[in-house]
């Protein structure tokens, strides 16, 4: 039995250790990820007017407003489609759930419809505008129906936009509102710039550009990523077809508020419970008059927004934000099914899991995990072990329903690959056109990971959150996840060790996070290229409401002389302030307002951001004939090239050519046979591969490029680190 004095000593010992960790976590993160540097501050102070002196050209402002309006209308159209479908489903939803699930469902249906149009050659303006018009008509009907009270107050209705009082979307405090408006506003202005992100210029936007030029979805293109599941690329195609590539970027940005709504929904529905004793954690009596606290949805939103990764990805034409949204939405729908076992929630969970599989191959782990949750739901209901065999039988039908929904929604992408390449998961497992063992090994980079090093594996969560060795540099998770990591582990251990008062959503969210993490670790063990924190975005999103709930529950550790919760709140405020400073100082050099205000042209902005890359693309467009076929070496980005440009998708082209044709003479002849007229060499990329000794994508003959330029290539243009050669 633990005496009160021993209990008090243990409590203060835990509090002391946690406070030490807070100091370490905050300082370590900002030592590695400096929010600002002296040169940045000096540059800003030397010429502050450069960032502020704007002469607004209202035609340019109107251009940006049209981009925003297009993205808003597509979001409204998605909501209209989803809300209409949900109105026929026997599920009780409040307004927030309808908005979140309805819009996510609508985006999925809209993407699949555009995919069907692409298969039949329907990529024409009339089809895009007709699709938008019909979807907006559905949205207006839903607004009218609910605004006039049709079915809204019917006790038997399965659908209502009017949220019940217990789940009303409460407005945040003024300080939170002000902070969110600033950080989202800064991100929005960057999203309004022409696309410059790596993967967007590589394939997320390149595919839609090629499809629109052809009027349909086409195959036979040596960009393997175009065969990845392409749900969001279809939505990019719609946005570009209606307006342009900036509107496409804004579709990705729009999933920041949808993720905010999703974590708010999780906190409000599953964690808005009175604080109670956590099994296994020592407590002290609270003073009289202390109010029972509830975890706040807006705290979870702040945890989400504290991730620089989220705001950075929102400015790019990627698909990571919707991927996180659909995986978490599938989990939330399954949690709702566990409450009442309504089949509609199970189907919705499977649909969202299928939509996630329509975004990336790696999402296949989510439906497997959901299936495990279904089995566990029935397994843990049968206490005597002898009855658990019947539990497995009970789970069979729900499993079939979940699997069928997931498969039907995901299947189109894999059937398309099968028809176009003969491999449903091209280019993996079965290979296919343009693919062989050499390219498979080059893509995997097997043997470049951390291996089975116990110390490295133990340090991995720490190094991951600090942003060490990140291969993508698309933004870090932020300090709050490092700060709360010990608390998450303590709460998880206490809840699993002692069964009293178990919060099942807490456990299931942590299991989801752990499964995502272990799947990521398995890849990192073998390949350095998979060390990308953004691949774990779904796990960090799922942790946001958990961290918010733990923060709220820290009140149990408060003492009249020291409030741990208030101290942690101060640390969170400092972290958010540093993040804002870092975001602002990274925003200023991008001069986004000069483009929005019309002080800079599209070409000037692209030259500012892309430098010699954009100059090279412009040079190719201007200095080569219309029928030129340009092969890129060590450069995968070709979005701004208007010729038949063939990018170096995984930076292995030169090494693969050596593998196939041995020497410069054989390579040159192969180029002539393929109709190649020009070769563009990205010198910086080439030197990077050679200096890092990346043998899996570097030719064995270190003089191979010199041999080619000496005997078969003639230099016709030079843009610094880009050289354009004509094949003799």
- Does the pLDDT value for residue 466 go beyond 80? yes
Are the beta carbons of 251 and 69 closer than 8 angstroms? no
DSSP string spanning 529-586?
GG--GGGGHHHHHHHHHHHHHHHHHGGGG-BTTB-HHHHHHHHHHHHHHHHHHHHHHH
User: What residue ranges do the domains of the chain occupy?
Assistant: 58-587, 611-727
Instruction: Give CA–CA dist 83/89, Å, rounded.
Output: 10
- Does the pLDDT value for residue 435 go beyond 80? yes
Sort 262 into a burial class: Cβ within 10 Å, 0-12 / 13-18 / 19+: buried
pLDDT digits (tens, 9 = 90+) for 384-431: 666 666 777 888 999 999 999 999 999 999 999 999 999 999 999 999
The predicted pLDDT at position 553 comes to 87
Rg over alpha carbons for the chain, rounded to the nearest Å, is 27
> Which whole number is the average pLDDT over 261-285?
64
- CATH 3.40.50.12610 is held by the domain 611-727: yes
Q: Which helix (H) or strand (E) holds 201?
A: none
Instruction: Give CA–CA dist 100/268, Å, rounded.
Output: 14
pLDDT digits (tens, 9 = 90+) for 467-480: 888 877 788 899 99
Proportion of the chain above pLDDT 70, given as a percent: 87
Winning range, highest mean pLDDT, from 228-237, 464-473, 493-502: 228-237
Are the beta carbons of 684 and 721 closer than 8 angstroms? yes
The predicted pLDDT at position 386 comes to 61
User: What is the distance of C-alpha 526 from the center of its chain?
Assistant: 23
> Which whole number is the average pLDDT over 244-253?
97
- Does the pLDDT value for residue 267 go beyond 50? yes
Are the beta carbons of 206 and 322 closer than 8 angstroms? no
- Does the pLDDT value for residue 152 go beyond 50? no
Instruction: Give CA–CA dist 270/38, Å, rounded.
Output: 45
User: pTM for the whole thing?
Assistant: 0.92
Sort 400 into a burial class: Cβ within 10 Å, 0-12 / 13-18 / 19+: exposed
> Which whole number is the average pLDDT over 341-367?
95
Instruction: Give CA–CA dist 646/637, Å, rounded.
Output: 9
How far is the CA of 570 from the CAs of 479, 543, 566, in angstroms? Answer: 13, 20, 6
The angle subtended at Cα 81 by Cα 79 and Cα 86, nearest 5°, is: 90
How do beta strands 722-727 and 713-718 pair? Answer: antiparallel
DSSP string spanning 407-431?
HHHHHHHHHHHHHHHS-TTTTSSS-
Confidence of residue 151 (pLDDT cuts 50, 70, 90): low
Choice among 282-286, 485-489, 597-601 with the minimum mean pLDDT? 282-286
Are the beta carbons of 176 and 184 closer than 8 angstroms? no
Instruction: Give CA–CA dist 222/433, Å, rounded.
Output: 8
The predicted pLDDT at position 708 comes to 96
């Amino acid at each position: 039995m633990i005496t009160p004095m021993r209990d008090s000593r243990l409590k203060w010992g835990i509090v002391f250790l946690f406070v030490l960790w807070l100091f370490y976590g905050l300082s370590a993160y900002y030592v590695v990820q400096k929010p600002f540097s002296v040169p940045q501050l000096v540059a800003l102070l030397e010429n502050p007017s450069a960032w502020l002196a704007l002469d607004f050209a209202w035609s340019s402002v109107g251009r940006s407003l049209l981009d925003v309006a297009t993205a808003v209308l597509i979001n409204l159209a998605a909501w209209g489609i989803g809300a209409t479908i949900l109105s026929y489903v026997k599920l009780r939803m409040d307004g927030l759930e309808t908005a979140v699930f309805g819009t996510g469902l609508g985006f999925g249906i809209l993407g699949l419809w555009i995919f069907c149009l692409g298969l039949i050659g329907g990529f024409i303006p009339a089809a895009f505008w007709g699709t938008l018009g019909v979807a907006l008509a559905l949205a207006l009907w839903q607004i009218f129906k609910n605004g006039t009270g049709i079915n809204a107050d019917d006790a038997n209705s399965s659908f209502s936009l009017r949220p019940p009082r217990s789940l009303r979307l409460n407005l945040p405090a003024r300080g939170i509102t002000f902070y969110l408006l600033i950080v989202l506003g800064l991100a929005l202005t960057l999203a309004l710039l022409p696309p410059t992100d790596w993967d967007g210029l590589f394939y997320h936007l390149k595919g839609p550009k090629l499809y629109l030029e052809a009027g349909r979805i086409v195959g036979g293109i040596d960009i393997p990523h175009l065969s990845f599941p392409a749900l969001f690329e279809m939505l990019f195609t719609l946005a570009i077809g209606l307006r342009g590539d900036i509107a496409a970027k804004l579709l990705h940005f729009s999933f920041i508020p949808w993720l905010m709504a999703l974590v708010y929904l999780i906190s409000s529905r599953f964690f808005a419970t009175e604080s109670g004793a956590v099994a296994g954690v020592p407590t002290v009596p609270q003073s009289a008059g202390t109010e029972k606290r509830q975890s706040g949805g807006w705290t979870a939103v702040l945890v989400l927004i504290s991730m620089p990764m989220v705001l950075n990805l929102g400015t790019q034409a990627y698909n990571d934000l919707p991927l996180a949204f659909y995986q978490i939405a599938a989990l939330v729908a399954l949690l709702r099914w566990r409450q009442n076992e309504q089949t509609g929630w199970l189907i919705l969970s499977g649909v969202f899991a299928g939509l996630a599989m329509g975004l990336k191959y790696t999402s296949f782990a989510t439906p497997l995990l959901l299936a495990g949750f279904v089995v566990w739901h029935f397994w843990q209901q049968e206490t005597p072990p002898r009855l658990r065999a019947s539990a497995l039988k009970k789970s069979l039908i729900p499993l079939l329903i979940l699997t069928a929904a997931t498969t039907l929604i995901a299947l189109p992408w894999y059937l398309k690959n099968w028809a176009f390449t003969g491999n449903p998961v091209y280019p993996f497992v079965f290979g296919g056109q343009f693919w062989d063992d050499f390219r498979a090994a080059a893509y995997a980079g097997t043997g470049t990971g951390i291996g089975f090093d116990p110390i490295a594996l133990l340090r991995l969560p720490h190094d991951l959150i600090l942003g060490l060795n990140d291969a993508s540099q698309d933004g870090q998770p932020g300090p709050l996840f490092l700060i709360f990591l010990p608390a998450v582990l303590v709460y998880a251990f206490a809840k699993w060790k002692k069964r009293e008062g178990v919060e099942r959503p807490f456990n299931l969210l942590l299991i989801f996070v752990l499964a995502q993490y272990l799947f990521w670790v398995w890849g990192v063990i073998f390949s350095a290229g998979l060390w990308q924190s953004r691949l774990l975005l779904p796990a960090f999103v799922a942790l946001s409401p958990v961290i918010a709930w733990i923060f709220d529950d820290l009140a149990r550790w408060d003492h009249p002389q020291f409030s741990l919760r208030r101290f942690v709140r101060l640390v969170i405020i400092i972290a958010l302030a540093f993040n804002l400073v870092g975001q602002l100082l990274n925003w200023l050099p991008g001069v986004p307002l000069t483009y929005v205000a019309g002080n800079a042209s599209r070409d000037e902005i692209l030259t500012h951001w892309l430098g010699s890359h954009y100059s090279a693309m412009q040079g190719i467009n201007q200095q080569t004939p219309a029928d030129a076929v340009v092969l890129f070496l060590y450069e995968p980005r070709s979005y701004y090239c208007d010729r038949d440009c063939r990018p170096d998708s995984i930076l292995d082209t030169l090494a693969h050519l050596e593998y196939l044709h041995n020497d410069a003479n054989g390579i040159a002849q192969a180029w002539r046979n393929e109709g190649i007229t020009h070769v563009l060499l990205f010198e910086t990329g080439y030197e990077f591969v050679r200096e890092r000794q990346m043998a899996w994508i570097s030719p064995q003959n270190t003089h191979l490029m010199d041999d080619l330029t000496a005997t078969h290539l003639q230099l016709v243009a030079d843009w610094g680190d880009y050289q354009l050669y004509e094949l003799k």
